[in-house]
Chain A
Amino acid sequence: MTAYLDHAATTPVLPEVIDVVAATMRDVGNASSLHAAGRSARRIVEEARESIADDLGARPSEVVFTSGGTESDNMAIKGSLWRQTAKDPRRRRLLISAVEHHAVLDPVEHLVTTGQADVTWLMPEADGVITPSALTAALAEDPDAAAVVSVMWANNEIGTIQPIAALAAAAHEAGVPLHTDAVQTLGQVPLDLTATDADMVTLTGHKVGGPLGVGVLVVGRDQDLVALTHGGGQERQLRSGTLDVPGIAGLAVAVRYAVAHQEAEARRLAVLRDRLIDGAHALDSSITVSGFWERGDTTRRLAGNAHLRVPGCDGDSLLYLLDAVGVQCSTGSACQAGVPQPSHVLLAMGLSESDARGALRLTLGHTSTEDDVQAFLHALPAAVERARRARHATDRAS
């Protein structure tokens, strides 16, 4: 038996999405063509756009289709920085949370190392939260230099949900736009973009049962971005390239499903998450959960995220030992050539490298059941015992 506990990496595609993608693939048509086949393809795209806009509380014209989260993040950060510095060369400071995904961190580091921008890192509290007052203080340091703020809606490693509406308000107070990467949030937290007022929002299909390789950047109508790709001028001139009609059609189905089931699903997953965390505690009281966690809560921590730290273990040993018995999870941190690096998220929260080593991220999704949780809890004690022995052996040898 296998237990898939890595839904934050990617979650199974919904059967109804597969049906729509397959059906759409059978039809010919470039959405930019002017004849009947083109119009038919274009209609599918625009209906998908309207459907997604409706589900998110956005306007259709604000929905820009991309290849996924990484492209959307790059488009938001680079596109708004470049537009702002073109208008006013002093506006070159990026205010970025230190717990972002690499799809934000790495473009920012690229912009800084190539001399195109300066950066102020927004540090989280010990529970992983970026407070609006921290943002306000950072903005006040040099108010004329700020170009764009980026804070993810919910953290991909530890599941902490950020106060995005309040952060957006703080950014707007200083006249600065806010981007948020919401790829982990869709389907777990209500995403009412009208109420939240973020200026740019990144979403991706494969975290919610949609196809891989298709996503969205919601770009507020008043946001003027410099495009990253140039060509046919599709998507408000922001993202040239022939539209992926089947992917977009499938994405709309997945977003609709995620939004329609969000409330019930969040409640269901939070129960499983709490059982998993409580169960791990019961097996080994030294295991700690990272970030804010309260039983039953779905508003401050993602309902499907359990991030555990097991003292005396290496995360990659635990991952191997659990994988060997069919329990699939993640260490949570980014990999370089397959090697897990110490998590920048945990380090930013003030943990030592050694405390960050035994991290394990277990994430639940639409196919998760009580059996998955039990399979993990069943496998955990032996894995922890072995992993501790392995750490001991390597520490002793060095």
Chain B
Amino acid sequence: MRVVAAMSGGVDSAVAASRMLEAGHEVVGVHLALSQSAATLRESARGCCTIEDAGDARRVADRLGIPFYVWDMAERFAKDVVADFIAEYEAGRTPNPCLKCNEKIKFAALLDKALALGFDAVATGHYAQIVEVPDAGAPLGMRRELHRAVDMAKDQSYVLGVLDEDQLARSFFPLGDTTKPEIRAEAAERGFSIAKKPDSHDICFIPDGDTRAWLTKRLGAQPGPIVDTDGEVLGQHQGAYAYTVGQRKGLGLTVPAADGEPRYVTSTQVKSNTVVVGTHELLGVDHITGDHARWCGPAPEGVIEIGAQIRAHGQEYPATAWAEGEQVQVRLAERIRGVAPGQSVVLYDGTRVVGSATIVSAGR
């Protein structure tokens, strides 16, 4: 097959490209320029898309002897990922931009362009597995399922939970059967100079990791009250948009709670610009409603037993779920804490990713 290997300049995508080449595919390396100020040569301990990263990707492509190009998707990324991220926070939700990037950029804009240019698929360095299972009803007698990676510490199936069957049919994740330390060793064996390059983490377009400061710069300071569940004002915040349900740090409350217990954000109300805090106990929810449902295979019928995961490297909780049109209802077996609107809930059947939805509300 003719495959575009998305190459970030990191270790994982470098090994992914090598493995595709060794599997006999015709591989072309593509680095996505996503930052609108790509001219910064930032020390790349986190994030991606610096000139240095593009250069690292190019050197890997040189070593592999494959053609290499940079595709500019900065405008799309700014609109579909960054602007969406800001709008979501502004609306009082906590989005995960990596899912959005996979849904709109890597497995949409990039994949569509690649297919139009005559490629058959896109390969990335995500830790996840595609499993082909016999299915008499499917076009080739085979159906592709998305599963967790064998390395649970690195598993990235959560951020891929937005991919539908068509996208999975055109995707390769060659690292899913290997652990990260083994990938690093493989990169070193292959002589890649980036074998020891630190992992990227956090949000690539917020290089210092300070999301609240980044948001404040864009949305401006909007001072408002921090209140308890009785409505009593306990302090001030600089913008309700920057707070997330379950958050404990950074509240700046000087008056201790009557019971001496720590206080957590239990809700943010952007209309009245109010942050409500309460006890740990108040955070517990056992029902989640999600919208923007995306199914990584056929949409489930009836009530299904699943595991629900609500953040990228979070735990999986036993639950039942059912689809209601574009919505998904998730009933958790027990109360969990720190469920914020805007986060994605990804549903698993064993290691298989069933689908995902964006959390609209959570309650009891």
Contact = CB atoms under 8 A, between A and B. Distances in A.
B72 A386 contact: no
B299 interface: no
B69 A338 contact: yes
Interface stretch (A24-32, A145-153, A319-327): A319-327
B67 A398 contact: no
Given A336-B38, A338-B33, A398-B79, A390 B113 contact: yes
B117 A317 contact: yes
A393 B73 CA distance: 14
Nearest to A320: B69
Contact of B51 (A317, A323, A337): A337
A389 B109 CA distance: 13
Contacts of B118: 321, 386
Report the contact-size class of chain A (Cβ under 8 Å from the partner): 20 to 34
- Identify the interface centre among A317, A337, A340: most chain B CB within 10 Å of its CB: A337
Contacts of A389: 116-117
Contacts of B340: none
B115 interface: yes
B38 A386 contact: no
Interface in B71-85: 71-72, 74, 76, 79-80
A121 to B, nearest CB: 22
B166 to A, nearest CB: 13
B116 A316 contact: no
Contact of A338 (B54, B67, B108, B116): B54
A393 B116 contact: yes
Given A386-B118, A392-B116, A393-B116, A339 B33 contact: yes
B48 to A, nearest CB: 12
A398 B115 CA distance: 16
Contacts of A320: 69, 117
Contacts of A338: 31, 33, 54, 58, 69-70
Given A339-B33, A386-B116, A386-B117, A394 B69 contact: no
Contacts of A340: 72
Contacts of A324: 28, 67
A337 B39 contact: yes
B165 interface: no
B112 interface: yes
A397 B112 contact: yes
Interface string A307-330: 000000000110011011000000
A379 to B, nearest CB: 13
A355 B79 CA distance: 22
Nearest to A340: B72
A324 B67 CA distance: 8
Given A320-B69, A394-B109, A398-B109, A339 B38 contact: yes
Interface in B288-324: none
A383 to B, nearest CB: 10
B291 to A, nearest CB: 21
Contacts of B67: 323-324
A389 B118 CA distance: 10
Nearest to B38: A337
A394 B113 contact: yes
Contacts of A321: 117-118
Nearest to B51: A337
- Identify the interface centre among B33, B67, B69, B74: most chain A CB within 10 Å of its CB: B69
Contacts of B109: 394, 397-398
A365 B70 CA distance: 27
B359 to A, nearest CB: 26
B88 to A, nearest CB: 19
Nearest to B35: A337
Nearest to B117: A390
A393 B108 CA distance: 10
Nearest to A341: B72
A203 B72 CA distance: 32
Nearest to A391: B116
Contacts of A398: 76, 79-80, 109
Interface of B: 28, 31, 33, 38-39, 51, 54, 58, 67, 69-72, 74, 76, 79-80, 108-109, 112-113, 115-118
23 contacts: A317-B113, A323-B67, A336-B39, A337-B39, A337-B51, A337-B54, A338-B70, A339-B74, A340-B72, A386-B117, A386-B118, A387-B117, A390-B112, A390-B116, A390-B117, A393-B112, A394-B109, A394-B113, A394-B116, A397-B108, A397-B109, A398-B76, A398-B80
Given A317-B117, A324-B28, A339-B74, 6 more contacts: A316-B72, A336-B39, A387-B117, A394-B112, A397-B112, A398-B76
